[in-house]
Amino acid sequence: MTIAMCNMTALLGGHKLNIPALVAHFSASWNPCKFATATVRMRNPRCCILLFSTGKVVCTGAKSEASALKAFAKFMRCVI
């Protein structure tokens, strides 16, 4: 997995994701007619995780690189 930081946005690449299953698990918002990603809003750290079906996971709104990495780690613990 690779993580790149750019204006407090972190990207994580991986395997294809099953968006409907993840939406049910995280109670995320998803409307494929408007935008093809599912949005998971996290409270601690305060940021949004965008899930693309291609496997890309984007963390936006993080205040630092450490909080973005913490959000990814928390997300991955819930998925695995």
Decide if pLDDT at 51 tops 80.
Answer: yes
State the pLDDT at residue 16: 83
Q: Residue 73, by phi and psi: left (phi above 0), alpha (psi -120 to 50) or beta?
A: alpha
Residue type at 39 in one-letter notation: T
For residue range 3-42, list pLDDT tens digits in order.
765 556 677 777 788 888 888 888 788 988 888 889 999 9
- Total residues found in the chain within this entry: 80
**Residues 52-79: tens digit of each pLDDT:** 888 888 888 888 888 889 998 998 888 7
67 close to 8: Cβ distance less than 8 angstroms: no
Amino acid 63: pLDDT: 83
Residue-level pLDDT at 41: 92
